[in-house]
Amino acid sequence: MRRITTLLCFVCAALAAQAGDIAYPVSAIPATLLPNAHVVKRVDDTRFEIISPHETLMKIKTAYTILDEEGLRYAQLVVFYDKLRKVQDIDGALYDAAGRQLKTLRQKDIRDYSNVGDISLMDDNRVKVYDFHYKDFPFTVEFEYAMRSATTYSIPGWMPVSSEHLSVQSSTYTLVCPESYAVQFKAFKYPAPPATTTDKGKITRVWTATNLPTFTKPFASPNWTELTTSVHFAPSTFEMEGHTGSSSTWQDFGKFSRDLNRDRDKLPDNMVQKVRELTAGVTDNGEKVRRLYEFMQKNTRYISIQLGIGSLQPFEASDVAEKGYGDCKALSNYMHSLLKAAGIPSLLTLVNGGDGANDRYMIEDLPSHQFNHMILCVPMPKDSIWLECTSQTDPAGYMGSFTGNRKVLLITEEGGKLVSTPHYGLRENVTARIVRGKLDEDGNLIMAANTVYRAMEQDRIYYMINELSKDKLKEMLNEELGLSSYDVNDFTYTAHKGVIPEVEEKLNITVNNFATITGKRLFVQPNILSRGGLQLVDEERTVDIEFNNEYRSVDTVEITLLPGYEVESLPAPVVLKTPYGSYKSTVTMQNDKLVYIREREQYTGRFPASRYKDVVAYYNAIYKADRNRVVLVKK
Amino acid sequence: MRKLVAACLLVTLCSNADAQKKEVFKFEKITPEVLQRKIYPVDSNASAVVLGDVGSTEIIGNTKGWFSFTFRRHVRTHILKKAGYDEAQKAIMLYVTSGAQEKLEALKATTYNLENGQVVETKMDKDNVFTEKAAKYQFLKKFTLPNVKEGCIIDIEYRIVSDYLNTLQPWNFQGAAPRLWSEYTLSVPQFFEYSFISRGSIPFYISDRSNRMDQFNIVQTQGAEASDRVSFTANVTDYRWVAKDVPAFKPESYLSSSSNYSSHIEFQLAAQRDPLQYHNYIGSWPEMTQNLMNDEDFGKKLDKNNNWLSDVVKPLIASGTNQDKARRIYAYVRDNFTCTSPEGLYLSQPLRNILRTKAGSVSEINLLLASMLKYADIPAEPIMLSTRSNGFVYTLFPMLSRFNYIVTSATIDGQRYYLDASQPHMGFGHLPTECYNGMARVINETATPLNFTTDSLKERKMTSILLINDDKGSWVGTMQQVAGYYESEDIRATIKDKGKEQYFKDLKKGFGLDISMTNQRIDSLTQYDHPVAVYYDFKVEAPKEDIMYVSPLFGEATTENPFKSAERSYPVEMPYAIDESFNVTMYVPEGYVVDELPKSMRVKFNDAGEGMFEYMISQSNDVISLRTQVKFTRANFQPDEYEILREFFNMIVSKQKEQIVFKKKK
């Protein structure tokens, strides 16, 4: 009997320990973390240990409370890995709102997928995914895993509030490294130094954050990195597949690239011969660059194959010469080799490519891997010539919205050197449009619209006329002019290549029911193709206002009206002059023609949040003015 | 009966043929003249043209004691512009399961360029073929050709040896690039019978068949050394199909699935016979559904006495009528289970597992629903169908592989309700529009056919607006709107995604400027059986001027014609039949008189009255009443109706833009 009792007690105790533990009850979330949140990071701990320059171990533990359906994507564990990074020790558990444990992770339900990028033919990216598939909100998922990496090339950063609609109850980042190992870091919205301890030859730094509410990125916002708490790291010495480097300075960081690229620029003899032929009799180096660049464009295309160190080291130039393809590094290196054969020095250049303002953002005082792309810079006595080697169509010397207006790292023989790519502003980014149309009896408008797009304003169209078939272009034109019903009767595009490129567009369009006819009246909206689409709502604003792109657009519209009508209502001219931009539109009757003229300039700059009311008023005034209409009445 | 049907189909395929045409295609020698061609008459805008695409499939004896097939393909493409470079990047999917596999063999890829008047040939290296494990049983062989430039010709040859005899390699006669010659030969020995299904509108230039005798050798390995060898001869039929000068397939908007219209042929094993043991793979519809009902991975689990369901189902059926019970079970499954995969007919895990993990594919969730309903003594039957994006099923032809989706029906008081618990916001008795794709089959003894057509879905939307002008000249309105059922689904999803506040913000933007909105409310947001109703008051700021113009529908007018393109090659397949009506009651502003009212009109879409638009406006003292309605009785339109349809919408857009003009009293 006695024995039985003990046994029973033992069983009870075991059950209690398993099922009775309460963890992450939703009631323990401070009220300030709930507004706007779909998910709360209850625990978000990262421990990153640099064991040696070629070995790191990262341990992550997270517990996220999912508040509603929109937070569901955070309920999944998603771990990316590749040839140099191995995932291990995945574990997890599911808790209900009260904090009772409902389930634990089943190893055999972890899914594993190939994650070859859209732009790649082949790489070694893979991903592991786990999901409890639970939907009784709110609930909490807890995950742990470790990742062992064979390189210190980049150290993951810390950004507790990593996106909108997410709040943080507790987040910690612990960096452990040998005492002798120097680590650079840069913190935003974290004024204090990390808590630092030293023990047994290891130095441990800890950053913590608690109770950070959600943050919403408003219109025209500065970069997210500056707006929330974050810390970014750079290794001192690092290794990758036997190659060593240092990112103590930009110069050092560039040396690593320089060494990876070294001796990969040998061309086969027939190519050297080809270079000679192409440049024979040309004395101007600029002209030589253009000829060789065009040769490269005609004979190669972009194909990305990145395996292991191949994500940083280019194919050999001879490989590209033979196969006619490569990724950004391989093609830049190939172009560099062609120029070298012509006796023209050039520099491989690391850049963070992308069209958005955030892609242009760089932490300049933290030399580290902040790049995703490579271009080529050809230094010239006056201005350098910049070459985008993955494009078969870009003009030599033009960078555009993907690589222009930003800091890049030149890889020189002495190491890295931070410089700026060309800037395109108000004078370059111009759209100039002239529309001439005639109204028919049924209110349809037959018009010719001729538009010249320059610099960044032509990027999208230039890309499309080169990449799309004529049928696809027509399909696109049929979709996107923002008119209620129309037919594109004819269209042509002419590209004028140059350091500041231009595209000339000629459209012949019938706009069906352009004018609204109600009895004796005719309603006409003279702004046909250049209506500003942005409406803003005046809201409380706490962060600065930042405009990153400058452009200018000029429109002239002439509409020949039907005889027998006179003006009943003509919109008054609208003139707006602000620090953010300027706008002017006027409409007049000249004999039987309605003449509409519009000019708009957008400026760049950073303004205090208190000016937001003005910004809203400015945008909304444009929105309204662009939709002004003329009312005509039968005489 | 089954054989008759198959025979009919064969006859149809052959009837287009001119049996005299024995024309043989030869890949011509690639000369400088060939490489210099810039334009092909088949399509003068083409970025790439397939000069020849020739494939064949032959069934052979293997060394595993059975048969395999060998698929051979030789495709040559002239790349004319950069936009055609995609043709040079290829991925071939191979399946490998335990005991059966597909292998890619003898892959050769060569690029031909014209350099200094000479044809220069570059062969692809073998080590440039990459293998990606795409899924558990799927491997992708990926490669790209070297030296691809504008004007080059690429030539690819390969063979696939496969153990998967059930579905042979299909053949696409049409694709993104036009084809000058597309040819497929299928050799079928007498002991296998395949069903052929072809679709698309491209006529065959040649469709031919001929017979010959061939020898088959099968080796069965017995242990380490011994092996059995069987050889026999059998009659073989060679089928040959050729399409010539095939234009590129161009997808259009409002097409449920472009695969319905792109020319294609596929094959399904129907039976095996002498000298093999007779086995029927495709039976009648009832045979097919009965097989499913008895399948361990499908229906068999449904009829067992599933006592493990009791903990979950008992509380749901504790009270009420069968109708109440069914609704509770349905809501429980819909609200607590996550759909992890939209496709797959069979169970990949036991039903019990699905109940435990609360996750499964569409068919797993709906089969679990059926088993729960049955457990509650409510007659329930699974239904199989093909979704709109998966393409039509062949009504004459019981072919399981065409189906990709399972829903469940519950019969309560003699009425059948169709249920899909895999969709998070679907009401009881509603199916997603994706399910409305023609024929579906109930999985029961008789394989009851059902017809789910989008023409039967009426999307009714009703809006009323009451408008007065305040003393400052601003328009003050009250809006009430009952959305259509499927629009309600969208609204629910939007609100789930962005929140109510953002939904109303977007609505406000739809008006244009100077609007304030108050008393916003949405009814039935979580009552998924009903459409949602949206209410709000609004105020449009407008200065008091001598003449006031007002567009009475404000943000609710149809402002864009949904049919953008002037031409149409394929039918218009809308997800439902539209029925939208607006009632506007408006008070003439004080101190003003009506100067001009739009004219009333009523227009029929066609003589049969399958669509109509009306705009009826009248004034009585100081009240203006406007009623406008767009209504169609069907959702599908033939290409020859397209122009009228487009014009019809042009007229609606133009009429709904019209303005009412008020003038100040003198």
Residues A240-249 have pLDDT tens digits of 888 999 999 9
Residues A378-388, mean pLDDT to the nearest whole number: 94
Q: For tokens 């028919």, what's the residue?
A: A440
Closest Cα to residue A134, out of A89, A56, A71?
A: A71
CB < 8 Å to B128, chain A: 323
Q: Which residue of A has its CA nearest to B132?
A: A114
CB < 8 Å to A470, chain B: 45
Q: Which of A299, A471, A517 has the CB atom closest to B45's CB atom? A: A471
- Angle between helix axes A285-299 and A269-279 (nearest 10 degrees) is 130
CB < 8 Å to B142, chain A: 121-122
What is the tens place of the pLDDT at every residue in A178-219?
A: 999 999 999 999 999 999 999 999 999 999 999 999 998 999
Give the Cα separation of A74 and A38 in Å (integer). Answer: 9
pLDDT of residue B10: 39
CB < 8 Å to B661, chain A: 518, 521
Q: Beta partners for B602? A: B614
Tokens of A514: 């352009």
CB < 8 Å to A133, chain B: 337-338, 340, 357-359
Q: Tell me how far CA of residue B422 lies from CA of A614, B283, B331, B343, B416, in angstroms.
A: 48, 30, 11, 11, 19
Q: How confident is the model at residue A611 (pLDDT cuts 50, 70, 90)?
A: very high
pLDDT of residue B558: 82
Complex ipTM value:
0.79
Q: Judging by DSSP bridges, how do beta strands B338-341 and B359-361 pair with one another? A: parallel
Q: Nearest CA to CA, how far is A297 from chain B (Å)?
A: 9
CB < 8 Å to A468, chain B: 83
Say yes or no for a CB contact (<8 Å) between A324 and B649.
Answer: no
Say yes or no for a CB contact (<8 Å) between A470 and B650.
Answer: no
- Give me the helices (H) in B376-452, please: none
Residue type, A547: F
What is the tens place of the pLDDT at every residue in A498-528?
A: 999 999 999 999 998 899 888 889 999 999 9
Phi, then psi, of B239 in degrees rounded to 5: -100, 140
Say yes or no for a CB contact (<8 Å) between B149 and A568.
Answer: no
Residues A68-88, mean pLDDT to the nearest whole number: 91
Pick A108 or A253 by higher pLDDT: A253
Tokens of B155: 């030539």
Q: Which residue of B has its CA nearest to A106?
A: B357
Residues A384-401, mean pLDDT to the nearest whole number: 94
Phi, then psi, of A631 in degrees rounded to 5: -110, 125
Q: How confident is the model at residue A20 (pLDDT cuts 50, 70, 90)?
A: low
Say yes or no for a CB contact (<8 Å) between A324 and B147.
Answer: yes
What is the secondary structure of A118-181 as a DSSP string?
A: TTEEEE--EEEEE-----SSSEEEEEEEEEEES--S----B-SS-STTEEEEEEEEEEEEETT-
Check if the beta carbon of residue B53 is closer than 8 Å to that of residue B73.
Answer: yes
Q: Which residue of B has its CA nearest to A137?
A: B336
Closest Cα to residue B634, out of B405, B455, B432, B366?
A: B455
Check if the beta carbon of residue B83 is closer than 8 Å to that of residue B56.
Answer: no
Q: Nearest CA to CA, how far is B3 from chain A (Å)?
A: 43
CB < 8 Å to B337, chain A: 133, 135
Say yes or no for a CB contact (<8 Å) between B505 and A537.
Answer: yes
Q: Nearest CA to CA, how far is B519 from chain A (Å)?
A: 18
Q: Which of B130, B358, B599 has the CB atom closest to A122's CB atom? A: B130
The residue among B124, B659, B662 with the most chain A CBs within 10 A of its CB, best to mutate, is B659
Q: Which run of H or E residues covers position A47?
A: strand A39-52
Say yes or no for a CB contact (<8 Å) between A484 and B561.
Answer: yes
Say yes or no for a CB contact (<8 Å) between B547 and A324.
Answer: no
Q: Nearest CA to CA, how far is A8 from chain B (Å)?
A: 27
Say yes or no for a CB contact (<8 Å) between A627 and B144.
Answer: no
Q: Which residue of A has its CA nearest to B359?
A: A133
Say yes or no for a CB contact (<8 Å) between B512 and A469.
Answer: no
**Residue B36: exposed, middle, or buried by beta-carbon count in 10 A (0-12, 13-18, 19+)?**
exposed
The end-to-end CA distance of chain A, in Å, is 113
In this model, does residue A607 exceed pLDDT 50? yes
Residues A325-343, mean pLDDT to the nearest whole number: 96
Q: Which residue of A has its CA nearest to B567?
A: A487
Q: Which of A301, A518, A620 has the CB atom closest to B659's CB atom? A: A518
> Residues near A594 by Cβ (< 8 Å), separated by ≥ 6?
A524, A526, A557, A558, A559, A561, A587, A588, A630
Say yes or no for a CB contact (<8 Å) between B560 and A485.
Answer: yes
Say yes or no for a CB contact (<8 Å) between A521 and B596.
Answer: yes
Phi, then psi, of A513 in degrees rounded to 5: 50, 45
Give the Cα separation of A143 and A43 in Å (integer). Answer: 10
Give the Cα separation of A586 and A598 in Å (integer). Answer: 7
Closest Cα to residue B30, out of B111, B148, B88?
A: B111
Q: Nearest CA to CA, how far is B657 from chain A (Å)?
A: 7
Say yes or no for a CB contact (<8 Å) between B45 and A70.
Answer: no
Give the Cα separation of B178 and B200 in Å (integer). Answer: 15
CB < 8 Å to B335, chain A: 135
Question: How many CB pairs (< 8 A) connect A and B?
Answer: 142
Q: Judging by DSSP bridges, how do beta strands B623-632 and B577-587 pair with one another? A: antiparallel
Say yes or no for a CB contact (<8 Å) between A478 and B509.
Answer: no
Q: Nearest CA to CA, how far is A381 from chain B (Å)?
A: 34
pLDDT of residue B452: 95
What is the tens place of the pLDDT at every residue in A528-558?
A: 999 887 888 888 899 999 999 999 999 999 9
Say yes or no for a CB contact (<8 Å) between A518 and B561.
Answer: no
pLDDT of residue A300: 94
* No. of helices (H) and no. of strands (E), chain A: 12, 38
Phi, then psi, of A214 in degrees rounded to 5: -70, 160
What is the tens place of the pLDDT at every residue in A218-238?
A: 999 999 988 899 999 999 999
Say yes or no for a CB contact (<8 Å) between A323 and B146.
Answer: yes
Mean pLDDT by 10 residues, chain B (666 residues): 33 45 87 94 92 96 90 97 90 88 94 94 90 82 92 96 90 94 95 88 90 90 74 92 93 85 89 81 83 83 81 92 96 92 81 87 94 94 93 82 92 96 93 94 93 94 93 88 94 86 84 81 92 93 84 82 88 94 94 93 93 95 94 95 94 90 89
Q: Which run of H or E residues covers position B293?
A: helix B285-294
> What is the sign, positive or negative, of the torsion defined by CA atoms of B372, B376, B381, B387?
negative
Phi, then psi, of B9 in degrees rounded to 5: -65, -40
Say yes or no for a CB contact (<8 Å) between B146 and A620.
Answer: no
CB < 8 Å to A330, chain B: none
Q: Judging by DSSP bridges, how do beta strands B592-596 and B380-385 pair with one another? A: unpaired
For the whole prediction, is pTM greater than 0.80?
A: yes
Three-state SS annotation for B206-275: EEEEEEEEEEEEEEEEECCCEEEEEEEEEEEEEEEEEEEEECCCCCCCCCCCHHHCCCEEEEEEEEECCC
pLDDT of residue B341: 80
Closest Cα to residue A453, out of A375, A530, A354?
A: A530
Domains (range + CATH), chain B? 32-280 (2.60.40.3140), 285-452 (3.10.620.30), 458-664 (2.60.120.1130)
Say yes or no for a CB contact (<8 Å) between A121 and B509.
Answer: no
Give the Cα separation of A244 and A565 in Å (integer). Answer: 80
CB < 8 Å to A517, chain B: 658
Say yes or no for a CB contact (<8 Å) between A70 and B82.
Answer: no
CB < 8 Å to B147, chain A: 299, 323-324
Share of chain A above pLDDT 90, in %: 75
pLDDT of residue B513: 61
Residue type, B651: M
Q: Which of B84, B358, B496 has the CB atom closest to A133's CB atom? A: B358
Q: Nearest CA to CA, how far is B338 from chain A (Å)?
A: 6
Check if the beta carbon of residue B435 is closer than 8 Å to that of residue B385.
Answer: yes
pLDDT of residue B304: 66
Q: Nearest CA to CA, how far is A610 from chain B (Å)?
A: 22
Say yes or no for a CB contact (<8 Å) between B250 and A392.
Answer: no
CB < 8 Å to B83, chain A: 466-469, 472
What is the secondary structure of B39-89 as a DSSP string?
A: -BTTBTT-SEEEEEEEEEEEEEE-TBSSEEEEEEEEEEEEE-SGGGGGGGE
Say yes or no for a CB contact (<8 Å) between A620 and B513.
Answer: yes
Check if the beta carbon of residue A75 is closer than 8 Å to that of residue A141.
Answer: yes
Give the Cα separation of B83 and B48 in Å (integer). Answer: 8
Q: For tokens 């409310």, what's the residue?
A: B521
* Other CB atoms within 10 A of residue A619 CB: 22
Check if the beta carbon of residue A330 is closer than 8 Å to that of residue A264.
Answer: no
What is the tens place of the pLDDT at every residue in A126-182?
A: 899 999 888 889 999 999 999 999 988 989 999 999 999 999 999 999 999 999 999
Q: Beta partners for B325? A: none
pLDDT of residue B156: 97
pLDDT of residue B195: 86
Q: Which residue of B has its CA nearest to A514?
A: B654
User: In angstroms, how far is CA A501 from the centroid of its own chain?
Assistant: 23
pLDDT of residue B7: 32
Q: Which residue of B has its CA nearest to A482?
A: B560
pLDDT of residue A4: 40
pLDDT of residue B143: 92
